Amino acid sequence: MSTTTVYKVNGMSCGHCEGAVSSEITELPGVTDVKAVAATGEVTVTSEAPLDEAAVRGAVDEAGYELAGVAGA
């Protein structure tokens, strides 16, 4: 059973941004799919189990952006 979480990321403005954020989050253990959309600032992450938000924040920071939190939370 997989889990899908939508995160808000500040600073994404183009396809390169989407790729940078996606590639870093994809490296987290258990992540099976990542879809980043610069226009909305949302990153949809599908994983085998709920992810530790601190781990996601670290991956987003590594890409050079800021995790604002879980969308709608």
pTM score of the predicted model = 0.94
Do residues 36 and 17 lie in contact, with contact meaning Cβ atoms separated by under 8 Å?
A: yes
- Strand 66-70 relative to strand 3-10: parallel, antiparallel, unpaired? antiparallel
**Rounded mean pLDDT of the chain?**
96
| pLDDT above 70: residue 45 | yes
pLDDT of res. 57: 98
Mean pLDDT over 2-11 rounds to 97
pLDDT of res. 72: 75
Q: List, edge to edge, every strand of the sheet that includes 31-37.
A: 31-37, 42-47, 3-10, 66-70
Domains assigned to the chain: 3-70 (3.30.70.100)
pLDDT of res. 73: 66
| pLDDT above 70: residue 60 | yes
> What are the beta bridge partners of residue 42?
8, 37
